[in-house]
Amino acid sequence: AQTVTQSQPEMSVQEAETVTLSCTYDTSESNYYLFWYKQPPSRQMILVIRQEAYKQQNATENRFSVNFQKAAKSFSLKISDSQLGDTAMYFCAFMKHQDSNYKLTFGKGTLLTVNP
Amino acid sequence: EAGVAQSPRYKIIEKRQSVAFWCNPISGHATLYWYQQILGQGPKLLIQFQNNGVVDDSQLPKDRFSAERLKGVDSTLKIQPAKLEDSAVYLCASSLRQGAFSWEQFFGPGTRLTVL
């Protein structure tokens, strides 16, 4: 079974600064996806960024980028130029790609607060 | 396009009572997921449907939880009888079954259940 660990329950950052959220995972699979999801207070979960395990290049989406270290099974999220709207719970998630059964395994989340 | 709809948004019941949650996925999405998100934890998959068939219900407490997806569109998740530990947010998500983007899950706003 896959496990996802987020070791930082809470983090805070000043507006316009950069913050990095950590995530490690454990799997014996070679073909999988990794995701970061954002869950704002009382709002629905949305996808922030996705990384495919076979790709060595780190994914980027505007101010969001990842540092994917496959051998170390590490998948951190960097948020640059933090904005007040980035305040949310962030979940790291793993998806095994097997027989087209796309099942997500989530970490416990990191609560990020962006301070003005 | 319209997102995943869920109702009710909030529900408070006494233990041993029954409760039902409803989900309407994005039009055309063949795969539907129900997750349980207990406070302080990441979402945990309860059941996955492909059209109106069950793909994975390995983590569904079948002695008290049941789910159906009639006609492969809307879905209902039921708890009977409820226990205190069922207090959680119940998230519904949907995804396309075919194509390059079938990995992407779109989440609804969730139903927050409080069992007293």
B54-100 tens-digit pLDDT:
988 999 999 999 999 988 899 999 999 999 999 999 999 999 876 65
Q: Give the residue on A whose Cα is nearest the Cα of B40.
A: A108
Report the residue count for chain A: 116
pLDDT at A56: 87
Mean predicted confidence (pLDDT) in B17-45: 94
Q: Do B42 and A46 touch (CB under 8 A)?
A: no
pLDDT at A31: 85
Q: Do A4 and B107 touch (CB under 8 A)?
A: no
| Structure confidence at residue A5 as a pLDDT band (50, 70, 90) | very high
> Residue A86 is part of a domain; what is its CATH number?
2.60.40.10
| CB proximity B85 to A under 8 Å | no
> Which residues touch A1 (CB under 8 Å, ≥6 apart)?
none
pLDDT at B45: 94
- Over residues A56-74, the pLDDT tens digits come to 899 999 999 999 999 999 9
- Cβ atoms of B32 and B92 within 8 Å: the answer is yes
| Cα–Cα distance, B24 to B27 (Å, whole number) | 8
Which A residues in the span 14-53 are in contact with B, Cβ-Cβ below 8 Å? 33, 43-47, 50
| Structure confidence at residue A111 as a pLDDT band (50, 70, 90) | very high
Asked whether residue A42 carries a pLDDT value surpassing 90, the answer given is no
> Which residues touch B80 (CB under 8 Å, ≥6 apart)?
B18, B19, B64, B66
Name the helix (H) or strand (E) containing A85.
none
CATH fold label, B5-97? Immunoglobulin-like (2.60.40)
Q: Give the residue on B whose Cα is nearest the Cα of A34.
A: B103
Asked whether residue A85 carries a pLDDT value surpassing 70, the answer given is yes
Residues in chain B closer than 8 A to A95 (CB atoms) = 103
Q: Which residue has the higher pLDDT, A44 or A22?
A: A22
Q: How many CB atoms lie within 10 A of CB B63?
A: 8
| Cα–Cα distance, B51 to B32 (Å, whole number) | 8
Reduced to 3 states (helix: H, G, I; strand: E, B; else coil), residue B72 is helix
Q: Using the 8-state DSSP alphabet, how is residue B17 labeled?
A: -
| CB proximity A107 to B under 8 Å | yes
Say how many domains are in chain A: 1
- The pair of structure tokens assigned to B65 is 């939880």
Residues in chain B closer than 8 A to A91 (CB atoms) = 42-43
| CB proximity B25 to A under 8 Å | no
| Cα–Cα distance, B20 to A7 (Å, whole number) | 34
| CB proximity A93 to B under 8 Å | yes
| Structure confidence at residue A29 as a pLDDT band (50, 70, 90) | confident
For A15-109, where are the E strands, in sequence order? 19-21, 24-26, 32-39, 46-52, 60-61, 64-69, 74-79, 88-96, 103-106
